[in-house]
Amino acid sequence: MELEAWHLLVLPLFFALGWAAARVDIRHLLRESRAVPASYFQGLNYLLNEQPDRAIEAFVEVAKVNADTLELHYALGALFRKRGEIDRAIRMHQNLVDRADLNQEQNLRALYELGLDYMKAGLLDRAEDIFKRLQAGAHGLDAKRNLLEIYVLEKEWEQAIAMAEELERTGLPAQNAETAHYYCELALNAGLRQDVAAARDHLQAALAKYRKSVRASMQLGDLEAAAGADMAAIEAWRQVESQNPAYLPVVASRLFQAYKRSGRADDGLNLLQAYLERHPSADLFHIVFGILVESRGWNEARAVAAEALKRMPSLRVLDDYLQARSAESEPGDLETRLAQDLVHRQVGRTMHYQCGRCGFKARQFFWQCPACAAWDSIPPERIEHEH
């Protein structure tokens, strides 16, 4: 293609337009940079120099100077909440809620953040009121999740069940295991009122919701045993092996005592020994060991402990073995007694249950962690850990 004369006239025009556009962009950037408060750049500088506290104060100053920095308000409020400065978070979000110049979407977001502040502060009634108002909007799903958490914290189990079902209807995965716990809590409350029929109905509902609910089977067995129906209790407790055999140590003593009350102590012991063979557990062995000592004497208990020590070496099993050795030893055998005493002290000092989510340690078993409120996060087998 040949270069014609009119092209020579157009080219300078293009260069002139490009130069003018560049000048406009530069002026626009300069105007924007002058509009940003100096506190903003000070905050960035503090962050780069790893001075978060001073950076936060600088950004707070920016938020005061420029009331249109909504995202900065939200970020600062969330940061205050995370740092435990709940009063500052509440003030910041409440100021946004009270502003008349925000559109509906902005106002609802500020309201949702305020609800989170109230939850963190433990003001559950206020948080609940806010999240109820937000159920139908853009924050509806998160509001319902928070309402479920509030109902669990307040032990409002019927409302928790209803909200869990509502979340399931929105398409979220069903939380059947946790919902079964809510029914078990209702059963406990009914038991305290001596309403056995209601307790049984709640436990059946728990098992219908989650057939592997060990807790429901155990409570159902407790209910039958309290009514004197040991065979029905045994049937309920034996379901635990198929549901989750890790919980056998928790139910083992109940099972044996029911067999013993029915005049079938040997059958109960044989059942526990079969469980132990199929599902080795130091805690389960300790229960079997105690039954052996009571029913068959120290000699057989020691022999069984010696075999168990080979299959599952642990301080707990060693403690049982040394206890049997000590009981059989001569009065002057101080070495055996001293070893048993040292191991026993160590076991008592280090054995505990521990939450797999937050690390909370406890001497007794909990279905729900007292620290992080997670369900089924504490394994039913105690662990050995040096403090």
Q: pLDDT by residue (tens digit) across 328-374? A: 765 556 666 676 677 667 766 778 899 999 999 998 999 999 999 99
Question: Would you place residue 133 in the very low, low, confident or very high pLDDT band (cuts 50, 70, 90)?
Answer: very high
Coarse DSSP helix, strand, coil percentages of the chain, rounded to the nearest 5 percent: 75, 5, 25
| CATH superfamily of this structure's domain 175-240 | Tetratricopeptide repeat domain (1.25.40.10)
pLDDT of res. 331: 59
Question: Would you place residue 26 in the very low, low, confident or very high pLDDT band (cuts 50, 70, 90)?
Answer: very low
Which pairing describes strands 361-362 and 383-384: parallel, antiparallel, or unpaired? unpaired
Residue 200 has pLDDT above 90, yes or no: yes
CA distance 284 to 275: 9
- CA angle 135-374-254, nearest 5°? 130
Domain parsing of the chain, residue ranges: 175-240, 244-387
Task: Kindly report, residue by residue over 227-254, the tens digit of the pLDDT.
Answer: 999 999 999 999 999 999 999 999 999 9
Q: Quick one: 7 exposed, middle or buried, by C-beta within 10 A (0-12, 13-18, 19+)?
A: exposed
How many CB atoms are located within 10 Å of the residue 364 CB? 7
Tokens representing 72 are 């900065």
pLDDT of res. 383: 83
Beta bridge partners of 267: none
pLDDT of res. 142: 94
How many CB atoms are located within 10 Å of the residue 282 CB? 23
Task: Kindly report, residue by residue over 82-122, the tens digit of the pLDDT.
Answer: 888 899 889 888 888 888 888 889 889 989 999 999 999 99
Average pLDDT over residues 147-151: 96
Task: Kindly report, residue by residue over 43-84, the tens digit of the pLDDT.
Answer: 444 334 444 555 445 445 544 545 556 777 777 778 778 888
CA distance 165 to 158: 11
Q: What is the DSSP letter of 351?
A: E
Taking the alpha carbons at both ends of the chain, their separation in whole angstroms is 86
Under 8 Å between Cβ of 216 and 183 = yes
Percentage of the chain surpassing pLDDT 90?
Answer: 53
Same fold: 175-240 with 244-387? yes
Tokens representing 45 are 């500088």
Query: What CATH number belongs to 244-387?
Result: 1.25.40
Mean pLDDT of the chain: 82
Under 8 Å between Cβ of 324 and 334 = no
pLDDT of res. 334: 65
Percentage of the chain surpassing pLDDT 70?
Answer: 77
The string of DSSP codes covering 150-203 is HHHHTT-HHHHHHHHHHHHHTTPPP-HHHHHHHHHHHHHHHHHTT-HHHHHHHH
Task: Kindly report, residue by residue over 169-195, the tens digit of the pLDDT.
Answer: 988 888 999 999 999 999 999 999 999
Task: Kindly report, residue by residue over 318-327, the tens digit of the pLDDT.
Answer: 888 888 887 7
Give, to the nearest 10 degrees, the angle between helix 124-133 and helix 140-153.
150
pLDDT of res. 85: 84
Element (H, E) at 11: helix 5-35
Residue 124 has pLDDT above 60, yes or no: yes
Residue 282 has pLDDT above 50, yes or no: yes
Tokens representing 346 are 């160590």
Element (H, E) at 334: helix 334-350
